[in-house]
Structure 1
């Protein structure tokens, strides 16, 4: 048995009884994924101004705290 005839380590580790399957498009899961994405967008768009305000205020407070110096 030559080196070319012996199975590789990956082939030894990938032993299975079921035949391999080929990739195929899954339109049902694709539509569910797009639906979830669109629902998240619909929910997040009205919240974006509040998220932006909280972000700006946190950056402002961090800046002001750095200007005051370390607390005792």
Structure 2
């Protein structure tokens, strides 16, 4: 098993907020997407404005292996 660390960004950076052991990187990747989905369900307005919603997966050395990002970009013609 390998330990992966999940850092969350939702307008603020939460380093090492969650760590888990997974059999494979593929499992960690799926967990990151699932976690981001839950964050989006809990805070649906997070990707609007200047902030994005992000989960970064790192190894024990802090190397970023994956970033999953949700950002909403509204066209200038969108109603305000």
Task: Give the TM-score normalised by the residue count of structure 2.
Answer: 0.29
- Whichever of the two has the greater Rg, that structure is 1
Give the structure with the higher percent helix: 1
Task: Give the TM-score normalised by the residue count of structure 1.
Answer: 0.32
Larger RCO (CA within 8 A; separation ≥ 6): 2
Give the structure with the higher percent strand: 2
